[in-house]
Amino acid sequence: MSQTFRTAIVVGASSGIGLALAEQLAASGCRVAAIARRKDRLDELATRFPNLVLPFAHDVTEFAEVPELFQQITAQLGGLDLIIYASGIMPEVGKTEFNTDKDISTINVNVLGAIAWLNQAAIRFQGSQTGTIIGIGSVAGDRGRPGQPVYNTSKAALSTFLEALRNRLSKLGVIVINVKPGPVDTEMTRHLGFKNAISADDAARIILSKTTRSREYYLEPKHHLIFAIIRRLPSWIMQRLGI
């Protein structure tokens, strides 16, 4: 870990990357508010890190609950150094399926939940002129692809929102980071059988080692080159390749 945090909120801490982040932060002595819907998972985490992990059951699509819950959590933590928004969903979408219900859920969790939580952090950090905000984006936000149109859209929107926060807050001393993982072996992706996925523990280790400056980066260094090319491919080539 490149920096020691004393207090943190991890939204989406019940599994995968968010769970690994909460575990590693708590193991470093940080007090962590762990947020997700599955309270049993959060309670189990809190049992492993007594007095360090505070579990809060919350559905991020309940946007109106966020301001009061944020105040309650920061009071209980006794401050806030870091917030990580890791909640996300990627519903299965058939090749010919256009399903607005799934699309609304994806935008609600991946984008509007992030905005609701990170706006609260932005207000606090703007006042204190310190603090770190991390959003878990994805390489999937770099292009609109046939397989996951709205998951792609959600990660592109998150990236743009985080860029705007960075452009508002960095000059005040607040660090704003968008990290873009490729495949990570978690409950979200396990059924896809990725051969090249990295572990959630490794993903969390890298994320927590790169917290000292505002930026957007790919979790895996090889993706900087690969996605520099993919971002520049003309649409007609993307269509031909079907990727």
Ligand X SMILES: NC(=O)c1ccc[n+]([C@@H]2O[C@H](COP(=O)([O-])OP(=O)(O)OC[C@H]3O[C@@H](n4cnc5c(N)ncnc54)[C@H](OP(=O)(O)O)[C@@H]3O)[C@@H](O)[C@H]2O)c1
Task: Tell the smallest beta-carbon distance from residue 18 to ligand X (Å).
Answer: 5
CB of 240 to ligand X, least distance (A): 25
| Ranges within 134-173 binding ligand X (CB under 6 A) | 136, 138
What's the min distance (Å) between Cβ of 129 and ligand X?
Answer: 28
What is the full DSSP assignment across 195-242? SSPEEHHHHHHHHHHS-SS-EEEESSTHHHHHHHHHHHS-HHHHHHHT
7 touching ligand X, by CB under 6 A: no
Choice between 171 and 190, CB closer to ligand X: 190
Which amino acid, residue 111?
V
- Pick 26 or 36: Cβ nearer ligand X: 36
Answer yes or no whether residue 69 interacts with ligand X by CB under 6 A: no
Contact between 186 and ligand X by CB under 6 A: the answer reads: yes
Q: Give the separation between CA 156 and CA 159, rounded to whole angstroms.
A: 5
Smallest gap from residue 80 Cβ to ligand X (A): 19
Residue 106 CB-half CA count within 13 A = 20
- DSSP string spanning 33-68? EEEES-HHHHHHHHHHSTTTEEEEE--TT-GGGHHH
Cα–Cα distances (Å) from 177 to 59, 110, 133, 142, 182, in that order, read 23, 16, 6, 16, 16
Binding mask 81-100 for ligand X (x = CB under 6 A): -----xxxxx----------
Q: Is 55 in the site for ligand X (CB under 6 A)?
A: no
Q: Which residue is nearest to ligand X (CB)?
A: 16
Clarify whether 218 is annotated catalytic: no
- Could you give phi then psi for residue 4, rounded to 5 degrees? -100, 125
36 near ligand X, judged by CB under 6 A: yes
Shortest approach of ligand X to residue 50 CB, angstroms?
Answer: 21
Q: Are 212 and 177 in contact (CB under 8 A)?
A: no
CA-derived radius of gyration, the chain: 17
Judged by the rule CB under 6 A, the positions of this chain that interact with ligand X are: 12-18, 36-38, 59-61, 86-90, 109, 136, 138, 181, 183-184, 186-189, 200
Task: Report the catalytic residues.
Answer: 151
